[in-house]
Structure 1
Amino acid sequence: MASLSTTLKESWALVEDRQDRVAAHFYARMFLSYPQLRDLFPVQMDIQRHRLLGAIVATVQLVDDPGHLDEYLRALGRDHRKFHVTPEHYAQVKAALLDAIRTHAGEAWNSLYEQAWNDVYDLVAGKMIAGAAEDDGPPYWHAEVLTHERRGTDVAVFTCRPLHPLRFRAGQYVSIETAYQPRLWRTYSMANRPRDDGVLEFHVRSTGGWVSSALVRRLKPGDMLRLGAPMGSMTLDATSRRDVVLVTGGTGLAPVKALLDELTCYNRTRWVHLFRGERHGDAFYDKEPLDRIAERHPWLTIVRAVSDEPDYPGERGAIPDVLSRHGPWRNHDFYVAGSGPMVSATLRRLTEMQIPSTRIKYDAFADA
């Protein structure tokens, strides 16, 4: 797999600086050749193009890690059932994708690159099809919105209840579609462990995106949502006895809150340290519920820090720097959730601190 990975990365480097053109070519070719596929995609295609490129990059990076690649692709296949994707669609997508990459790679493209992309696409398609085939649940769940609260100018917390049971683990996420933006799906983490009443809690920050804006500003009790299959591996290791460090920012709080919710059910021996970073002190929504958890469970310590408010009375600085000032952390399990830049900076710091990657789980959120 290492040689395949090298070949893929070499060939992708040929088009990396023209990714937007590759994506535009891919969709134009696919919709021209297979116009029936257009109904599977949202009306607004600008963000969809970036999602395609993100999936390609993720796959290329994971080729060297067969275990995680298998888990990622099977989950992706289960999730794609909500689009009513069939095995025949994969072959149609393959023809358009290879044509787009081949065309924009130019004269440097060769038969070795062609074979590598054929092989990796067949591998991807096979695992996604297998993941979809082994799932006996519905392709998506209808859920009724129960409550909706604004927690600041751009953050909303809402709850909903699926009409049929939805099995998931604390720390996972689902994709959500709202009638306000049909055929546009965005991923959001549940902020609670599975409950007997089936209720799910979500935290959303409006970043100007179509879906996040609708969920924050337009959603109301009684509305119906569609939820995709649960995904994500940022779940607790029940066999570990190591203490836990949770690092979060923005609405990355949601999966961290779900992990805390699960820990309150059984934890007695593991110390848990929650580091929460924001730019300004008034951005710490849901502060009181977290403080109540800490009051009831002495094993939880909460450290809040701001980066852009010099007069803030508590900890100041970027959350990776604040994390470094505490510790040591050599024998802890880490869970990191927040914006892409925040997660990347934290992962780099953990690498500098020589934390084994096997003890780190993370999720990066575009809407965080």
Structure 2
Amino acid sequence: MSVDSQAISLVRSSFKSVAAVEDGPERLARTFYSILFARSPETREFFPAAMDVQRDRLVGAIAHVVERLDESDAILEYLAQLGRDHRKYGVTDEHYTAVGNALIEALETFGGAEMWTDEVDSAWRNALAIISAAMMDAANAEDGPPAWSATVIECRPVIKGVAVVRLQLDQTMQYRAGQYVSVQVAARPRMWRYLSPATPYDGTGVLEFHVRQVTGGWVSPVMVNQTAVGDTWVVGSPIGALGIPENSKDLLMIASGTGVAPLRAQILELIRRGNTRKVQLFYSGQHPCDLYDLPHLWKLAEKHPWLTIIPVSEEDENPWWHTEPEPLPPIGMARRIVGKVGKVVTSFGDWAGYDIQVVGSESMVNSTKFRLRAVGIDVDTVRNDPTY
């Protein structure tokens, strides 16, 4: 990636000036889509009728790329993944040009003449050209399907508002344990949601997702409450940087709720590889019942001494609507600890020398990183995928 340091600085500072303005990111996104749809009306069919989630996702994606423009290998791989995933929309090279031009016009409109100098304009055009090229090259080089059709073979509620859904793909899709995919259900066309497979690739074409219903959400309530065996879902290409590191470091995994899925997939992949390195998983939730996958994880830990499971909940009691008894840990397994997961994790030590992954809500990830920083961990080395 040949964006020089001065250009990267201009791109970052101009984008941060947008983010610093009240409602700035939302206004930028609205302006961008208004311009895009006016200049290239055919692109409107790529997006859902309700654009609120899509606007947030756009700003999150831009922020993620802008902050990592100087991380050439990592950001180029991320952009390649996005390019392959965007094939599901039917995006062409001309659409990438239209998107770049619309974003430039939106930024210029938002920033005004004082911010949008010739130097800033040139820096953005150079960066967007490289970004578009990386995505287009990856998309054009891909010979697999633009998306996979999948049939629901099981939908099992595990607690209120959470379901385990298993799908059979129409053809196999290779992915790394820890990655995530975009998913669309028939009842919500063009509304894609990101889910992480909870099992590693095994060549059978079966995917397992752990889906939590989001209050006020458009898609997750349908996935959790209305999915039936035989339904057809559409699945996009795998994305994400999480996964088993190539180094030999011991692993610290920190998960909240359904965030356990990509970490569980990695643990199962490690078992398949005959792992010997130490793996410590802190599995957390608001209530004890949120640790719905704990019995399965305990069984894995009983068979594989290198795996340690530490259950954590912020509350000691379950909500009134959950009446099932809490499972008791097998002999030798850690008992559940009450507290914030970041505080609990750092009470065990400073975790120096571990490869660390954190998966959960944005607030959980940020608070856990704050605690890790306080014990001396360089949080730039803590891995988590974007939370948009």
**TM-score strictly above 0.5:** yes
* 1:174 CA drift (Å): 0.7
CA shift for structure 1 position 116: 1.1
1:194 aligns with 2:201: yes
TM-superposed deviation, 1:175: 0.4
Q: Cα offset for 1:22?
A: 1.5
Residues in 2 aligned to 1:341 and 1:358: alpha-carbon distance in whole angstroms: 17
Aligned counterparts of 2:25 and 2:242: Cα–Cα separation in 1: 29
2:228 partner SS: coil
Which residue of the other structure, out of 222, 225, 237, is the alignment partner of 2:230? 222
State the partner residue of 2:331.
none
Post-superposition offset of 1:91? 1.3
Aligned to 1:61: 67
- The aligned counterpart of 2:240 is 232
Match of 1:283 among 271, 286, 290: 290
Residue by residue over 1:38-89, the C-alpha shift from the partner in whole angstroms, topping out at 9 and shown as x without a partner, is: 1111111111111111111111101121121111111111110001100011
Structure-2 residue corresponding to 1:169: 176
The equivalent of 1:265 in structure 2 is 272
CA distance 1:328–1:35, change in 2 (3 Å) = closer
Tell me if structure 2 keeps the 8 A contact 1:310–1:316: no
Aligned residues of 1:338 and 1:364 also touching (Cα < 8 A) = no
What CA distance in whole angstroms lies between the structure 2 residues aligned with 1:133 and 1:353? 45
Change (3 A) 1:364 1:293: farther
Q: By how many angstroms is 1:365 displaced?
A: 4.5
Q: Does 1:128 align with 2:135?
A: yes
Q: Determine whether 1:317 maps to 2:333.
A: no
Matches within 5 A, 1:41-56: 41-56=47-62
Superposed CA offset, 1:144-170 (max 9, x none): 110001111111111001011111111
AA partner of residue 300 (structure 2)? I
Give the drift of 1:263: 1.4
Asked whether the equivalents of residues 338 and 363 of structure 1 are also in contact (C-alpha less than 8 Å), the reply is no
* Residue segments in structure 1 that go unaligned for 5+ positions in a row: none
Q: Residue deviations 1:217-246, cap 9 Å, x none?
A: 111110011100011121112x43222111
C-alpha distance in structure 1 between counterparts of 2:249 and 2:53, whole Å: 40
Tell me the distance in 2 between the aligned counterparts of 1:251 and 1:87: 36
Aligned to 1:203: 210
Q: 1:308-359, CA deviations, whole angstroms, 9 ceiling, x for partnerless residues?
A: 3389983122111111111352122212211111112222333333335685
Which residue number corresponds to residue 15 of structure 1?
18
Tell me the distance in 1 between the aligned counterparts of 2:238 and 2:288.
Answer: 32
Contact between 2:84 and 2:139, CA under 8 Å: does it hold in 1? yes
Q: CA RMSD in A?
A: 1.9
Superposed, 1:308-347 pairs within 5 Å as 308-309=315-316, 314-347=336-369
- Whether 1:153 and 2:160 are equivalent positions in the alignment is yes
Q: 1:60 and 1:359, CA in 2 relative to 1: closer, same or farther beyond 3 A?
A: closer
> What's the CA shift for 1:114?
1.0
Q: Give runs of aligned pairs for residues 36-115 of structure 1, distance below 5 A.
A: 36-108=42-114, 109-115=116-122
Relative distance call for 1:167 and 1:54 in structure 2 (3 A) is: same
Q: Once the two structures are aligned, what percentage of the paired residues are identical? A: 36
* 1:352 corresponds to 2:374: yes
Which whole-Å CA distance do the structure 2 matches of 1:176 and 1:2 have between them? 37
Structure 1 runs (4+) deviating above 4 angstroms are: 310-313, 356-359
Instruction: Map Cα deviations across residues 119-140 of structure 1 (whole Å, 9 max, x no partner).
Output: 1111110111011122121100
Provide the rounded CA distance (Å) in 2 between the counterparts of 1:328 and 1:35: 53
Contact 1:332/1:359, CA 8 A, preserved across alignment? no
Report the TM-score when normalising by structure 2. 0.89
- Name the SS of the counterpart of 1:194 in structure 2: coil
Structure 1 match to 2:323: none
Please list the CA deviations of residues 293-317 of structure 1 after superposition, one character each: whole Å capped at 9, or x if unmatched: 1111122111111223389983122
Q: Could you tell me how far apart the structure 1 residues matched to 2:387 and 2:109 are?
A: 32
User: Does structure 2 retain, via aligned residues, the 8 Å contact 1:337–1:364?
Assistant: no
Aligned partners of 2:154 and 2:121: how far apart in 1?
52
**One-letter identity of the residue aligned with 2:67:** Q
CA distance in 1, matches of 2:379, 2:336: 30
Distance, in Å, in 2 between the alignment partners of 1:352 and 1:307 is 20
Structure 2 stretches lacking a partner, 5+ long: 319-325, 327-334
> Residues of 1 paired with 2:248 and 2:117: CA distance?
51
Q: Do the aligned partners of 2:172 and 2:203 also contact (CA within 8 Å) in 1?
A: no
Name which of 122, 139, 152 aligns with 2:146.
Answer: 139
Matching of residue 249 in structure 1 with residue 256 in structure 2: yes
CA distance in 2 between partners of 1:255 and 1:134 (Å): 27
